[in-house]
């Protein structure tokens, strides 16, 4: 991993799914849609003054989205924040910075 860059793509962990679950209401509000499925599949991280996450999420049977989420440092006592997202993705689209 390049210093300051994103990690390689890894399979989602229970921790990443928890972060995904926490930002689901933020995503649903922004797209004005309820997602029956919101399963984290892959992720990448970047350590900054906190952690940036890029997360590939299955949002419906054949619908995928990419999320950019910021998780502040623990002492800041803040939940994850949905910074940006991309819709219209496929299962095979690479998880790249946006």
Question: One digit per residue, pLDDT tens: the chain, 98 residues?
Answer: 455 789 999 999 999 999 999 999 999 999 999 998 999 999 999 998 899 999 999 998 889 999 999 999 888 889 999 999 999 999 999 999 98
pLDDT for position 3: 55
- d(CA 75, CA 67) in angstroms, rounded, equals 24
pLDDT for position 1: 44
The domains of the chain are located at 10-89
Residue among 18, 27, 67 nearest 45 (CA): 67
Domain 10-89 coded CATH 3.10.450.10: yes
Cα within 13 Å of Cα(98), Cβ side: 18
59: Cβ contacts below 8 Å, ≥ 6 apart: 27, 35, 37, 38, 65, 87
In this structure, the strands spanning 81-89 and 10-11 are unpaired
pLDDT for position 23: 97
User: Using CA of residue 74, residue 58, residue 42, residue 68, what is the dihedral sign?
Assistant: negative
């Amino acid at each position: 991993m390049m210093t300051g860059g994103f990690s390689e793509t890894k399979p989602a962990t229970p921790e990443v799914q928890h972060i995904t679950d926490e930002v689901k209401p933020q995503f649903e509000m922004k797209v004005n849609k309820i997602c029956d499925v919101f399963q984290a599949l892959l992720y990448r991280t970047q350590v900054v003054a906190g952690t940036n996450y890029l997360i590939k999420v299955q949002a419906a049977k054949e619908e995928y989205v990419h999320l950019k989420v910021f998780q502040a440092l623990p002492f800041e006592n803040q939940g994850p924040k949905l910074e940006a997202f991309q819709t219209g993705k496929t299962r095979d689209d690479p998880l790249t910075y946006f």
